[in-house]
């Protein structure tokens, strides 16, 4: 069986790229087709893809391509169609919701789409960038998005099998694409460390520092309560600077960290705070639980499937600092058990993902 992997673009390292790594582990000889590959922007994760066969589109040769990720949405359908898949039996698409990678010319191959989400910017979900505050841009964005929604639906018809990364995304696939999907939760690389029963006094948050994650709410809440907070991750669209302007001396910004540093932060923390809106699945909260750390999360999206309320974490119900502060105060009075958090997180292991995905692909070939 000849397999090709397709990914929107490779410029950042997050949950979607961890899934791509797991897929490449299953199919190590499969080339990865992507619009652009920008290893210099991958920070401490730069070397992860060094040995892979990566095939890029003509967009790779554009000047300032790192600044064109969003505008490339217009050209993405044409660029994906330019790839030659005539020698493949199965095309596995890791669709992050950035572009329309399933619109490719599949020839005789079957397309399996692992869908992290339909494009958030097309269907009213919060995104990393907010360009529609400008009235002129709002008009053009509305016209472009209407066209791209039609393109996106057409691309969905090209898919033979959908796999969703959560029940939340399965519902979106049914709503927007009128197609059924199987749920296979994304892989969590469980740490080979002992959990800490004696925690430090700080809270932690992090991952992608993007506006849809609402980390400003977390910064404000912890600053108001004067609680130590550590924030890790790469900033997007100037959001990191905004967060630093809101923070008091209780907040420490660590920037992008290595996996080893991340696990140490999560293991030692009193709790992981998560305020993402309409989260597709949410890998970092599960990583926190895998490190033995309970999670306080906004009750929205995929985290409702991964957190056991009262056992491995708690939820707050309004996207306000006040709502989060109230739950933090309640959290401080409760007892959570690191081993129970870690045991629950094991349900989302990479081994489980590899087994389920391999079984699915073997049935369609």
Confidence of residue 192 (pLDDT cuts 50, 70, 90): low
Confidence of residue 336 (pLDDT cuts 50, 70, 90): very high
Task: Work out the average pLDDT over 94-123.
Answer: 93
Confidence of residue 145 (pLDDT cuts 50, 70, 90): confident
State whether 229 and 254 are in the same domain. Answer: yes
Query: Residue 99: inside a domain, yes or no?
Result: yes
Tell which wins on pLDDT, 269 or 13: 269
Query: Residue 195: inside a domain, yes or no?
Result: no
Task: Work out the average pLDDT over 191-220.
Answer: 86
**Among the ranges given (23-32, 87-96, 247-256, 321-330), the one the predictor scored with the smallest mean pLDDT:** 247-256
Q: Where are the beta strands (DSSP E) in the chain?
A: 3-7, 32-34, 54-56, 90-95, 110-115, 161-164, 182-183, 203-209, 229-235, 251-255, 271-274, 295-298, 313-316
State whether 161 and 214 are in the same domain. Answer: no
Query: Residue 123: inside a domain, yes or no?
Result: yes
State whether 125 and 218 are in the same domain. Answer: no
State whether 259 and 301 are in the same domain. Answer: yes
State whether 179 and 265 are in the same domain. Answer: no
**Distance (Å, rounded) from C-alpha 122 to C-alpha 90?**
28
**Among the ranges given (136-140, 289-293, 338-342), the one the predictor scored with the smallest mean pLDDT:** 136-140
State whether 217 and 277 are in the same domain. Answer: yes
Among 235-239, 258-262, 340-344, the range of highest mean pLDDT: 340-344
**Among the ranges given (238-252, 305-319, 339-353), the one the predictor scored with the smallest mean pLDDT:** 238-252
Question: Is the per-residue pLDDT at 168 higher than 80?
Answer: yes
- What's the domain count of the chain? 2
Task: Work out the average pLDDT over 104-111.
Answer: 95
Query: Residue 194: inside a domain, yes or no?
Result: no
Query: Residue 283: inside a domain, yes or no?
Result: yes
Count Cβ neighbours within 10 Å for each residue of 22-52 and write b for 16 or more, e otherwise: bbbebbeebbbbbbbbbeeebeebeebbeeb
Query: Residue 197: inside a domain, yes or no?
Result: no
Tell which wins on pLDDT, 319 or 131: 319
State whether 144 and 158 are in the same domain. Answer: yes
Give residue 129's pLDDT: 58
State whether 75 and 171 are in the same domain. Answer: yes
Query: Residue 159: inside a domain, yes or no?
Result: yes
Query: Residue 229: inside a domain, yes or no?
Result: yes
Residue 229 CB partners (closer than 8 Å, separation 6+)? 202, 203, 204, 205, 218, 219, 222, 223, 250, 251, 252, 273
Task: Work out the average pLDDT over 4-33.
Answer: 94
Which residue segment(s) compose the domain that 296 sits in? Answer: 203-348
Give residue 287's pLDDT: 93
Give residue 82's pLDDT: 94
For residue 311, the domain's CATH number is 3.40.50.2000
**Average pLDDT score, the chain:** 91
Give residue 59's pLDDT: 93
State whether 164 and 113 are in the same domain. Answer: yes
Task: Work out the average pLDDT over 317-321.
Answer: 97
Task: Work out the average pLDDT over 261-286.
Answer: 94
Question: Is the per-residue pLDDT at 130 higher than 60?
Answer: no
State whether 359 and 279 are in the same domain. Answer: no
State whether 217 and 117 are in the same domain. Answer: no
Task: Work out the average pLDDT over 127-136.
Answer: 60
State whether 360 and 260 are in the same domain. Answer: no
Give residue 208's pLDDT: 83
């Amino acid at each position: 069986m000849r397999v090709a992997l397709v990914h929107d673009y490779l410029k950042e390292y997050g949950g979607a790229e961890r899934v791509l790594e797991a897929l490449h582990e299953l199919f190590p000889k499969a080339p990865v087709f992507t619009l652009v590959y920008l290893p210099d922007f991958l920070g401490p994760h730069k070397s992860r893809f060094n040995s892979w066969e990566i095939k890029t589109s003509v967009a790779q040769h554009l000047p300032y391509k790192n600044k064109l990720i969003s505008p490339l949405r217009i050209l993405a359908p044409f660029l994906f169609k330019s790839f030659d898949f005539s020698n493949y039996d199965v095309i596995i698409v890791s669709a992050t919701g950035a572009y329309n990678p399933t619109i490719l010319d599949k020839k005789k191959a079957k397309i399996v789409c692992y869908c992290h989400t339909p494009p958030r910017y097309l269907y009213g979900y919060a995104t990393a960038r907010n360009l529609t505050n400008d009235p002129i841009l709002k008009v053009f964005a509305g016209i472009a998005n209407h066209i791209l929604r039609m393109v996106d639906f057409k691309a969905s018809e090209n898919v033979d099998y959908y796999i969703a990364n959560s029940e939340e995304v399965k519902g979106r696939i049914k709503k927007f694409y009128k197609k059924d999907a199987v749920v296979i939760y994304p892989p969590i690389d469980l740490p080979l460390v002992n959990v800490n029963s004696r925690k430090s006094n700080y809270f932690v948050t992090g991952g992608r520092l993007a506006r849809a994650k609402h980390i400003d709410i977390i910064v404000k809440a912890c600053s108001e309560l004067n609680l130590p907070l550590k924030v890790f991750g790469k900033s997007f669209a100037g959001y990191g600077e905004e967060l630093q302007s809101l923070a008091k001396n209780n907040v420490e910004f660590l920037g992008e960290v290595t996996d080893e540093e991340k696990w140490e932060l999560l293991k030692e923390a009193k709790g992981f705070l998560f305020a993402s809106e309409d989260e597709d699945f949410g890998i970092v909260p599960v990583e926190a639980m895998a490190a033995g750390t309970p999670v306080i999360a906004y009750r929205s999206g995929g985290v409702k499937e991964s957190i056991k309320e009262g056992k491995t974490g708690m939820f707050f119900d309004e996207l306000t600092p006040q709502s989060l502060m109230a739950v933090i105060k309640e959290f401080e009075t409760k007892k959570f058990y690191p081993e129970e958090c870690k045991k629950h997180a094991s349900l989302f292991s990479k081994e489980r993902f590899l087994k389920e995905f391999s079984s699915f692909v073997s049935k369609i070939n």
